[in-house]
């Protein structure tokens, strides 16, 4: 079907050239998508260079239809194919239909909430070591420090690495791999092939091969040892396919890289956004500190994390779903060859769902569980992020330790804009705050500053 004919079947959207649409999504990611919603509503067709048309959906009924569609109708794995050079073709993210269901079933036990609880001590220890080094009374960019921390947690808790030369070497190589992959070209499949002729992609492949060699050595060594461990790699080594066979090297390598990509930059950026907002919300930060000091629960901390993930989702969309068979959603029949995106950013800022959506109010989630199709920072349906419990536990530990030790103040009166880093959104100035030693939360004037739950 010709592109002009296809566009007639799809919802309205901008008619500007594809490169101009890409430039807008890269340079002004949040502002550009908000402008499109104001102009076109909850169904928006966009066209980026070298890619099929994308339809951005933000009506909860449409999102439910996307998340519950049969696996042979919509292919999220195919929609995320741009990640293949980084995470590998055996990654659960890139699989569809029965191969995806089998791989997901294989991985679920390793990311179960109970298994994650075993890693709390290690996460806490690593967080304490990082947070203790932060400077006081001067502007300090938290995002790079949080990237350093989340990478260390992945390498220790997922890869199971101990302190030593291998950890240092792999940390260095993976840091370089991730840095190169942040290029805008990394999200365009055709330019990935073209740029292999040039320096950046050739450097990427060379460094990735070096990292793969270390990962292979680690996996082979761990296969042969009998020591019981609690890290994610140990659990994956115990996993068995339906025929009783263990995971092959390529499967293990690709799932480790998937955990790295899905749990490193995303969590670091989410925490950075959280602290950038908490530095501007003294009553919220104080109430959190009081809850931390009391040590009698984490209800308000949980609600605050839900609000951080609502207000500033670092992944603006769930995995793109490529239409394989015509499907009717929201009054439109989408033909094969179109990609459907459930927009977490737009649904999270819909005033019909979240009154005053740009206000930071954790009270929205006190006594109210997040909606399945209206709060989607981890995607949804059978493709919901396997590492969600890992990320939430990590955020609780980091926020708890930082606010248990420091008070936060903004370094500027201007809130930070949204910047694009490959597929993620992050604070434009690196979540730059001023840290101060904590004062007592028991001051008699403090309770008056705490907002009453809605």
Checking if the pLDDT of 339 tops 60, the result is yes
Residue 400 belongs to a domain = yes
Tracing tokens 């199709």 back to the chain, one arrives at 373
Residue 240 maps to a domain: yes
What b/e readout covers 5-28, taking b as 16+ CB neighbours within 10 angstroms? ebbeebbebbeeeeeebbebbeeb
pLDDT recorded at residue 450: 33
The model carries a pTM of 0.91
Per-residue confidence band for 447, with pLDDT thresholds at 50, 70 and 90: very low
- Specify the pLDDT at position 186: 57
Single out the residue of 61, 117, 130, 178 nearest to residue 393, CA to CA.
117
453 falls in which pLDDT band (50, 70, 90)? very low
pLDDT tens figures, 346-359: 999 999 999 999 99
- Look at residue 367 and tell me if it is in a domain: yes
Range 355-381 average pLDDT? 96
Of 39-43, 273-277, 318-322, 444-448, where does mean pLDDT reach its minimum?
Answer: 444-448
pLDDT at res. 301 = 98
Q: Is the pLDDT of residue 86 over 70?
A: yes
Instruction: Quote the DSSP letter at residue 384.
Output: S
How many CA atoms lie less than 13 Å away from 250 in the CB half-sphere? 5
Q: State the pLDDT at residue 26.
A: 86
142-173: burial string, b at 16+ Cβ within 10 Å, e else: bbebbbebbbbbbbbbbbbbeeeebbeebbeb
Residue 391 forms part of a structural domain: yes
Residue 297 has pLDDT above 80, yes or no: yes
Residue 446 or 423, more confident: 423
For 296, the token pair is 């009698």
| Nearest CA-CA partner of 277 in 235, 243, 307, 253 | 307
Give, for 145, the enclosing helix (H) or strand (E).
helix 142-153
Residue 3: exposed, middle, or buried by beta-carbon count in 10 A (0-12, 13-18, 19+)? exposed
Q: Give CA–CA dist 198/411, Å, rounded.
A: 40
Collapsed DSSP state (helix, strand, coil) of residue 161: coil
> What pLDDT score does 190 carry?
54
* Closest-CA residue to 390 (of 101, 107, 157): 157
pLDDT at 391: 95
297 domain-assigned: yes
Distance CA 121, CA 67 (A): 35
Number of domains in the chain: 1
Nearest to 287 by CA among 180, 163, 385, 399: 399
Kindly report the CA angle at 428 between 427 and 430, in degrees rounded to 5?
65
How confident is residue 287, by pLDDT bands cut at 50, 70 and 90? very high
Mean pLDDT, range 53-76, rounded to an integer: 97
Note the pLDDT of residue 110: 87
In a domain, 291, yes or no: yes
pLDDT band of residue 49 (cuts 50, 70, 90) is: confident
Q: How confident is the model at residue 448 (pLDDT cuts 50, 70, 90)?
A: very low
Q: Burial level of 83, CB count in 10 A (0-12/13-18/19+)? A: buried
pLDDT band at 443 (very low <50, low <70, confident <90, very high): very low
Q: Which domain holds residue 433?
A: 3-449
Mean pLDDT in residue range 113-125: 86
**Residue 117 is assigned to a structural domain of this protein:** yes
Using DSSP, state whether 213 is helix, strand or coil. Answer: helix
pLDDT interval class at 234 (50, 70, 90)? very high
Residue 302, domain CATH? 1.10.630.10
Work out the angle at residue 378's Cα, subtended by the Cα atoms of residues 410 and 68, and round it to the nearest 5 degrees: 150
pLDDT, residue 439, reads 80
* Percent of the chain's residues with pLDDT above 90: 76
Q: What percent of the chain is modeled with pLDDT above 70?
A: 92
Whole-number Å distance between alpha carbons of 132 and 127? 8
Indicate the DSSP class of residue 156. Answer: I
What is the rounded average pLDDT for all residues in the chain?
Answer: 90
pLDDT in tens, 404-414: 999 999 999 99
454 occurs within a structural domain: no
**Predicted local distance difference test score (pLDDT) of residue 90:** 95
């Amino acid at each position: 079907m010709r592109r002009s004919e296809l566009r007639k079947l799809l919802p309205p959207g901008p008619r500007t050239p594809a490169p101009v649409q890409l430039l807008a999504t890269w340079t002004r990611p949040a502002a550009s998508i908000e402008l499109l919603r104001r102009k076109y509503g909850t169904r928006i067709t966009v066209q980026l260079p070298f890619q099929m048309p994308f339809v951005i959906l933000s009506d909860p009924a449409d999102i439910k239809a996307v998340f519950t569609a049969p696996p042979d109708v919509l292919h999220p794995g195919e929609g995320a194919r741009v990640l293949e050079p980084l995470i590998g073709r055996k990654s659960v993210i890139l699989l569809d239909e029965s191969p995806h269901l089998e791989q997901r079933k294989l991985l679920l036990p390793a990311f179960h909430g109970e298994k994650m609880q075993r890693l709390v001590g290690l996460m806490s220890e690593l967080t304490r070591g990082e947070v203790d080094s932060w400077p006081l009374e001067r502007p300090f960019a938290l995002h790079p420090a949080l990237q350093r921390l989340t990478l260390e947690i992945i390498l220790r808790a997922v890869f199971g690495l101990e302190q030593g030369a291998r950890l240092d070497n792999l940390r260095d190589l993976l840091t370089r791999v991730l840095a190169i992959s942040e290029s805008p070209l990394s999200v365009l499949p055709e330019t990935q092939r073209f740029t292999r002729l040039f320096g950046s992609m050739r450097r990427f492949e060379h460094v990735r091969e070096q990292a793969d060699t270390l990962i292979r050595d680690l996996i082979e060594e761990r296969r042969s040892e009998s020591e019981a461990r609690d890290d994610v790699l140990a659990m994956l080594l115990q996993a068995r396919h339906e025929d009783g066979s263990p995971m092959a090297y390529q499967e293990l390598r690709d799932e480790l890289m998937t955990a790295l990509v899905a749990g490193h930059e995303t969590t670091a950026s989410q925490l950075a956004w959280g602290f950038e907002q908490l530095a501007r919300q003294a009553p919220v930060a104080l109430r959190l500190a009081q809850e931390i000091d009391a040590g009698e629960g984490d209800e308000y901390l949980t609600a605050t994390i839900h609000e951080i993930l609502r207000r500033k989702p670092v992944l603006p969309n769930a995995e793109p779903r490529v239409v394989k068979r015509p499907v009717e959603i929201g009054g439109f029949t989408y033909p094969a060859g179109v990609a459907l995106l459930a927009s977490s950013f737009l649904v999270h800022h819909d005033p019909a769902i979240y009154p005053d959506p740009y206000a930071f109010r954790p009270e929205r989630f006190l006594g109210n569980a997040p909606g399945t199709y209206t709060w989607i920072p981890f995607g949804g349906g059978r493709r919901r992020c396997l590492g969600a419990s890992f990320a939430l536990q990590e955020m609780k530990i980091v926020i708890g330790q930082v606010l248990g030790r420091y008070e936060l103040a903004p370094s500027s009166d201007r809130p930070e804009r949204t910047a694009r880093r490959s597929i993620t959104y992050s604070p434009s100035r690196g979540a730059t705050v001023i840290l101060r030693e904590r004062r007592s939360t028991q001051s008699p004037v403090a309770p008056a500053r705490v907002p009453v739950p809605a």
